[in-house]
Structure 1
Amino acid sequence: MAHRLLSWAGIGDPQRIENASIELHGESMRAIGGACAEAFTTNWELEVADGWQTRALHVTVRGFGWSRSLDLTRAPTGDWCAAVARHGEIDLPEPGLDDPGTVAGAIDCDLALCPVTNTMPIRRLRLLDRDVADTHLVMAWVEIPSLRVLRSDQVYASAAPEGKRRVKYTSFSRNVSTHLTVDADGLVIDYPELARRLRPEPAH
């Protein structure tokens, strides 16, 4: 088992800091973390089963006078379900997953603004170990701060220019196409326009 304690600063929003404590177990991981932004805070817990497949994501968001929580789980059959709670009034979309059919076939969750959830597809597809062409994936994407769960169609592929560990990443729903710089564990160091690791560890 390997344990990592990491932090990222938001790009364009450097006051937003994401922290994560991560346990890597061969072909699975557990992680806990959270972030502090100007108008809200988040806390989350991620459980990833063998084969780098999402088992559960638990998220709580708290603002001034309001809070929301989401328990998003994936059954061994591949079915997703979500339980939500909310307190106080805030002008945001309703939390949760309206139609589980929209994320049918998804193996991964993707928590908005959080670089940790990029690790599962990177490790499962072995993007750092071999040359992998564009691979289309469906994600159960969790919007922050609403905690609405939406389908996100994404592409991952290997990309290692100039000897660096990089991954080609595209999200069609958010019109993002970029290269993620990662470490030997597949954990993000630099996610252009989103977050950059604080005190990044040297590549090894």
Structure 2
Amino acid sequence: MSFRDVALLAEPRSLRWRPVEGIGLEHFTLRGTPAGIRAESVVIGERGGGEPYGVSYAIDCDPGFAVTALTIATTDGRRVFLERRDGIWRDVFGEHLPAFDDCVDIDLAGTPFTNTLPIRRESWQPGQSREFAMLYIPFDSFVPRLDRQVYTCLEPRLFRYQAADRSFEAELPVDDDGLVLDYPSLFERI
């Protein structure tokens, strides 16, 4: 199974998702760069208690969708920068973050895009399952933590996502670029 070669996109590809519940919107752009792929987005929404937030993020990947850098900025002034070089994650000060050395992928709360990373990075056959160590960043504290997730290829363009502790799962249909179409109970493409 293969996806379109996003790195060769002549023009950036933009799309939008909205939350299934509550108020919000994500405007997302994916484009090829000389070094690989860049995803940029602006997300507005509300947390569980109805508190509004605004976040922008940029994720740089190599041509195989392995994350090389991440920048997140909030409208209230918080900022996170992480970089992955030679299999090692570093913060904005260049300090090694050893807790994340097993992580190739990231997961940002508040966007379905980061599900695309392990889906695109790996080669899949229907029925295959893989567990991933993810560098997870929640949109409330913005404090990175380790999270384990399982993806199963159900069909060429349909994947099951599961939290490794089995506390949550969803079937994720994706398009020819591996981008989530709908994320049941969380996001829908508009």
TM-score in terms of structure 2 length: 0.83
Tell me the distance in 2 between the aligned counterparts of 1:42 and 1:174.
28
Q: Equivalent residue for 2:144? A: 149
- The letter of the residue matching 1:180 is L
Q: Equivalent residue for 1:57? A: 70
Post-superposition offset of 1:51: 2.1
Q: Equivalent residue for 1:131? A: 126
> Is 1:196 matched with 2:175?
no
Tell me the distance in 2 between the aligned counterparts of 1:46 and 1:174.
27
Tell me the distance in 1 between the aligned counterparts of 2:58 and 2:165.
25
Distance 1:73 1:136, change over 3 A: same
Contact in 2 for aligned 1:152/1:173 (Cα 8 Å): no
Post-superposition offset of 1:117: 1.3
How high is the sequence identity, in percent, across the aligned residues? 27
- The letter of the residue matching 2:153 is S
Q: Equivalent residue for 1:101? A: 98
Q: Which runs of 5+ in 2 are unaligned?
A: 1-7, 47-51
Tell me the distance in 1 between the aligned counterparts of 2:138 and 2:41.
16
Post-superposition offset of 1:174: 8.2
Distance 1:60 1:195, change over 3 A: same
Of 92, 95, 112 in structure 1, the residue corresponding to residue 109 of structure 2 is: 112
Post-superposition offset of 1:4: 1.2
TM-score in terms of structure 1 length: 0.78
Distance 1:167 1:28, change over 3 A: farther
Q: Equivalent residue for 2:90? A: 81
Contact in 1 for aligned 2:107/2:134 (Cα 8 Å): yes
Q: Equivalent residue for 1:16? A: 24
Tell me the distance in 1 between the aligned counterparts of 2:16 and 2:87.
31
Contact in 2 for aligned 1:106/1:140 (Cα 8 Å): yes
Tell me the distance in 2 between the aligned counterparts of 1:174 and 1:10.
22
Q: Equivalent residue for 1:46? A: 59
Distance 1:45 1:23, change over 3 A: same
Of 118, 127, 131 in structure 2, the residue corresponding to residue 121 of structure 1 is: 118
Matched residue SS, 1:146: coil
Matched residue SS, 2:181: strand
Matched residue SS, 2:98: helix
- Count the aligned residue pairs: 175
Q: What are the residue-to-residue correspondences of 1:24-35 with 2, within 5 Å?
A: 24=32, 28-35=36-43
